[in-house]
Amino acid sequence: MSISGMTVAYETDGGAGRFVALRDVDLEIRAGEFIAVVGPSGCGKTTLISTIAGIVKPCQGEVRVGGKPVVGPGPDRAMVFQNYALMPWRTVVANIRFGLEFQGRKLSKSEADARIERFIDLVGLRGFEKRYPYQLSGGMQQRVGIARALVGEPAILLADEPFGAVDAMTREAMQGELERILAATGQTVVLITHSIDEAITLADRVVVVSHRPGTVLEVVDVPLPRPRMDDAVRGSAEYARLREYTWNLLKGEALGAHEQSGPAA
């Protein structure tokens, strides 16, 4: 996937104004790579993955997936949302099945059932298939969200703060599960996170976005061995170095954003 010379602006005041959310973004993402996107609040992270998803259109530049320009949503890209966005009237199985329906996959009933079964096992929801979302914990609901996104086997998984609404312990467990699932499925992932630890634990590269209008400030390589959910990796000097380096980049951006939005002198 490649993003080149991309600028995204939103109309404001009923079309009278224009707000530039992202400016001149260039980014190459290799197939199977895990990219984490970090940056100060409002820098355009959600806008970035929305353009990859094809739900927001750039006013300049383009996103290409598999060599073709993105002109709208497609079955090659699936989203996981922070608030899970499950259908409350559908069971776990029916919510996951929606991932196949939405992506327009033409599978026979038995093929679809077999695939859903595989993902129920992969995300650890065996025994909960007939439950409704309100009968599940937040972490379990997000497992449904991940299974729904992955069941159609999209080439690219787009995740907007997927673990932002779950408690710290569940978050750690879910990071480990995502790492394990991706080792089995091999998708390209673009994940937005506010956690530097989550970014370094999961990603091959961390994209640091500047304060608005957002642009790529730096791409930090994370050459740590996998699996990363391992005390030896997360306690290593290299992990600490990457964490401090990324934090210093972000700190500068957050301070810049604060000064920009602070009261006039």
Catalog residues that contact ligand ATP under the rule CB under 6 A: 10, 12, 19, 21, 39, 41-47, 212
Instruction: Report the nearest approach of ligand ATP to the CB of residue 120 (Å).
Output: 31
Instruction: Report the nearest approach of ligand ATP to the CB of residue 45 (Å).
Output: 4
Instruction: Report the nearest approach of ligand ATP to the CB of residue 37 (Å).
Output: 8
- If the CB atoms of residues 140 and 159 are measured against ligand ATP, the closer one turns out to be 159
Question: Rounded to whole angstroms, how far apart are CA atoms 216 and 206?
Answer: 10
- If the CB atoms of residues 43 and 136 are measured against ligand ATP, the closer one turns out to be 43
Residue 73 class from Cβ within 10 Å (0-12 exposed, 13-18 middle, 19+ buried)? Answer: middle
Instruction: Report the nearest approach of ligand ATP to the CB of residue 50 (Å).
Output: 7
Write out the two tokens for 29. Answer: 């993402």
Task: Specify whether the CB–CB gap between 138 and 85 falls below 8 A.
Answer: no
Instruction: Report the nearest approach of ligand ATP to the CB of residue 129 (Å).
Output: 33
Write out the two tokens for 66. Answer: 């598999």
Question: Rounded to whole angstroms, how far apart are CA atoms 73 and 51?
Answer: 9
Question: Rounded to whole angstroms, how far apart are CA atoms 184 and 4?
Answer: 30
- If the CB atoms of residues 47 and 141 are measured against ligand ATP, the closer one turns out to be 47
**Residue 19 C-beta-side C-alpha neighbours within 13 Å:** 11
- If the CB atoms of residues 10 and 111 are measured against ligand ATP, the closer one turns out to be 10
- If the CB atoms of residues 137 and 261 are measured against ligand ATP, the closer one turns out to be 261
Q: In this structure, is the dihedral angle defined by the CA atoms of residues 105, 110, 115 and 119, taken in order, positive or negative?
A: positive
With residue 218 as reference, give the H or E element that holds it: strand 216-221
- If the CB atoms of residues 39 and 58 are measured against ligand ATP, the closer one turns out to be 39
- If the CB atoms of residues 177 and 253 are measured against ligand ATP, the closer one turns out to be 253
Instruction: Report the nearest approach of ligand ATP to the CB of residue 80 (Å).
Output: 15
Helix, strand, coil in percent for the chain, rounding step 5:
40, 25, 35
Task: Specify whether the CB–CB gap between 220 and 248 falls below 8 A.
Answer: no
Question: What residue has token string 């996951």?
Answer: 96
Instruction: Report the nearest approach of ligand ATP to the CB of residue 53 (Å).
Output: 12
